[in-house]
Amino acid sequence: MELPLGIVLKGIDAFLLVFVRMTGLFVISPIFGRRNMPAYLKIGFSFLLALITVNMISVPDLEYYNSIYHYALLIFKEFMVGVTLGYISYMVFSAIYMAGELIDMQIGFGVVNVLDPMSNIQVPITSNFYFIMSMLVFLAVNGHHTLIKALFESYKYVPLGGAVFNDNLMEDIIRIFGNIFVIGFKIAAPITAAILITDVALGVVSKTVPQLNVFVVGMPLKIFLGIAVMMITIPMFIMLLETLFDSMDSETLNFLKDMGQK
């Protein structure tokens, strides 16, 4: 069996490093990291991308990694570069999960959960609805192409063995983690505000008409109102998703620049 030309010219050690970086993205990214995607498909796609990439990049001198321990450290660094790229996209969907959970707590769906095949955990039903819609928008705007493009572009800023995990990178991780809560509250704000107004109105009605059982009337009213506001705000939610997915490219660039700093 003949080895592909890229592996022969660049060296099996360089190809393995490229392959590891590709694999890191497939561990945590929204589309490629789903648990219901077959493992052999992930490995095969990573191998194909690595085979293409290794012929397109310049491989620096890696001779100073002259022991198996140093080379293992280099593999770990390349894997973390791929995981970091997937982390950025995963955080956007985590904000959507958080928004759905906030909405479910308000409208009374907090005890209704479904199984998420990506994380293999129970998630609120509204979160799952928002996630499916977000995934469709992500595919419609070619977000999966953006992830693959980011992998190819990463070698311009972070060459093989050149990843640096400094304070700037940690600040970026903390900042994007904090943005999860901001984005989640923004998505859930219209429904939360509508339910809050409904609670105030029901409180006034309960004082004005004590004979009315507010608990019996309030629960279906909140569900109806929450679903109605959710349907009304879907166009705005899609516009927000497009903005978030567009900002993923700039966030990825910031992470790559920080990891490539010496």
Q: What are 58-61's contacts with CB under 8 Å, separation 24+?
A: 58/159, 59/10, 59/11, 59/14, 59/160, 60/159, 60/160, 60/161, 60/162
Distance from C-alpha of 188 to C-alpha of 208, rounded to nearest angstrom: 30
Q: How many domains does the chain have?
A: 1
Question: Helices 125-140 and 234-259 meet at what angle, rounded to 10?
Answer: 70
DSSP 28: H
| Predicted TM-score (pTM) of this structure | 0.73
pLDDT of residue 61: 63
Residues of the chain with pLDDT under 70: 1-11, 32-36, 59-67, 109-123, 212, 214, 260-262
Whole-number average pLDDT of the chain: 76
Range of the domain at 11: 5-259
pLDDT of residue 114: 58
pLDDT of residue 2: 45
